[in-house]
C-alpha cells in the first residue's frame, strides 16, 4: 500500500472519529447555551456570508493575524465544549494548554507534533461547534439551506477557482490551521473545517428533528459517500475535490424525504372533522382558517399556513407539523 493511499484512509478514519465524537457528545453532554436565542433564517444568511467572505479576507491579512483569529476561536469553542465535563476553570486551562502546545510545537520546528496537536484541536473544534449549533436550536431546514448555499460556494472555490488550494497552501503547517490533515506537502490528505462541520452536524440535527433512524441513516450514508470519494480521489490522483458538491444535495434530499414522511404520518393520524370542530369550538372564527396538526392533535392555529406553523414552533413542537385549512 502506497503512502498516499495510507494517508487517505487514515484521514477517512479521522473524519469518522470526528463525526462519532460529535454524536457521542450530543447524546451525553449538554453544552452551556449562550444567551443568543435560537437559530432563525437571518442567522443562516449571515453565517453563509461570513463563511464565503472569510477565505478572501484571510488571503489578504498578515499571517500572524490569521493565526491569532483561529487561535481565539479555537480557545473559545474548546473551553465551551470542555466546560460541562471539566468545569469552567479547568476547561479554560485545558483549552489554553492545547493552544500553547500547538504554538510551542510550531516554534520548536516539530511538524509532526504540529500535525497531531492541530488535528486534535480541529476534532475538538468540530465537536464543539456542531453541538453548539444542534443544541442551540438549528433546525433540519437550516442545515439543508446552509448545505445548499455552501455547495455552490465549494463548487466555485474548489472546483472552478484556486481559492481553496491557495488558502490551504497558505495555512497548512501553521498552528490552528482549519484543516484536518494526515501530512503536509504534495502527498498530504486533508479535509477542511467546513466539510467536517457539515458532516458532523447533519446526523445530530436529523436525529433531533426526525428521530434516531434519520440520524443513523445520515451517518451511514455520509460514511459511504466519504469512503467512495476517498477512494476516487486517491486512485484518480486528484489534489482537491469539493466534498460539498455531493454532500450538499445528499443533506437536502434526506431533509425533504424525512419531512415528507413526517407529514404523511401526521395526515394519516390527524383527528377527524368532529375532533377538529370540537378542538376549535371555543376559538374566534377569524382564528379557525388554518390549524397545525402533529401526533394526531391540533397543536396551534393561525390565520394563514405560516402563522399556524410559527405558532406550533412557539408552542414547542420541533417536528414539522401538517397545516390544514378548516373551512371555518
pLDDT tens column, 253-297: 999 999 888 877 766 655 555 455 555 555 555 445 677 777 666
Radius of gyration of the chain (CA): 23
Question: Taking 60 as the threshold, does the pLDDT of residue 149 lie above it?
Answer: yes
What was the pLDDT predicted at 194? 87
String of DSSP letters for 128-159: HHHHHHHHTT--HHHHHHHHHHHHHHHIIIII
Between 47 and 131, residue with greater pLDDT: 131
The better pLDDT of the pair 6, 252 is held by 252
What pTM was computed for the model? Answer: 0.78
Kindly report, residue by residue over 207-247, the tens digit of the pLDDT: 988 888 999 999 999 999 998 888 877 776 666 678 888 99
Name which of 122, 176, 110, 128 is nearest 26 in CA terms: 128
pLDDT, tens only, 108-133:
989 889 999 999 999 999 999 999 99
Q: Which residue has the higher pLDDT, 128 or 52?
A: 128
Q: In the structure, what pLDDT confidence band is assigned to residue 328 with cuts at 50, 70 and 90? A: very low
Q: What is the pLDDT of residue 163?
A: 82
Residue range 165-187, pLDDT digits in tens: 888 888 888 898 888 988 776 66
Amino acid at each position: 500500500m502506497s503512502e498516499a493511499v495510507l494517508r487517505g484512509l487514515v484521514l477517512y478514519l479521522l473524519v469518522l472519529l470526528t463525526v462519532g465524537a460529535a454524536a457521542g457528545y450530543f447524546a451525553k453532554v449538554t453544552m452551556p447555551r449562550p444567551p443568543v436565542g435560537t437559530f432563525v433564517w437571518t442567522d443562516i444568511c449571515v453565517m453563509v456570508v461570513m463563511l464565503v467572505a472569510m477565505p478572501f479576507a484571510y488571503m489578504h491579512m498578515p499571517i500572524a493575524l490569521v493565526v491569532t483569529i483561529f487561535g481565539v476561536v479555537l480557545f473559545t469553542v474548546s473551553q465551551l465544549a470542555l466546560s460541562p465535563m471539566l468545569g469552567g476553570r479547568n476547561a479554560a486551562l485545558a483549552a489554553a494548554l492545547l493552544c500553547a502546545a500547538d504554538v510551542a510545537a510550531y516554534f520548536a520546528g516539530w511538524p509532526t507534533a504540529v500535525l497531531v496537536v492541530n488535528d486534535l484541536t480541529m476534532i475538538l473544534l468540530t465537536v464543539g461547534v456542531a453541538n453548539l449549533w444542534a443544541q442551540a436550536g438549528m433546525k433540519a431546514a437550516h442545515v439543508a439551506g446552509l448545505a445548499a448555499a455552501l455547495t455552490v460556494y465549494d463548487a466555485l472555490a474548489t472546483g472552478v477557482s484556486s481559492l481553496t488550494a491557495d488558502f490551504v497552501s497558505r495555512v497548512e503547517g501553521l498552528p490552528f490551521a482549519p484543516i484536518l490533515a494526515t501530512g503536509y506537502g504534495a502527498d498530504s490528505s486533508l479535509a477542511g473545517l467546513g466539510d467536517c462541520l457539515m458532516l458532523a452536524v447533519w446526523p445530530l440535527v436529523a436525529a433531533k428533528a426526525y428521530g434516531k433512524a434519520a440520524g443513523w441513516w445520515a451517518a451511514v450514508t455520509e460514511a459511504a459517500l466519504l469512503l467512495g470519494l476517498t477512494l476516487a480521489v486517491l486512485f484518480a490522483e486528484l489534489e482537491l475535490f469539493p466534498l460539498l458538491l455531493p454532500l450538499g444535495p445528499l443533506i437536502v434530499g434526506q431533509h425533504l424525504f424525512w419531512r415528507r414522511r413526517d407529514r404523511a404520518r401526521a395526515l394519516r393520524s390527524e383527528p377527524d372533522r368532529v375532533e377538529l370542530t370540537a378542538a376549535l369550538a371555543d376559538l374566534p372564527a377569524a382564528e379557525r382558517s388554518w390549524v397545525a396538526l402533529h401526533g394526531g392533535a391540533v397543536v396551534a392555529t393561525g390565520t394563514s399556513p405560516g402563522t399556524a406553523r410559527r405558532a406550533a414552533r412557539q408552542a414547542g413542537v420541533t417536528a414539522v407539523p401538517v397545516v390544514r385549512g378548516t373551512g371555518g
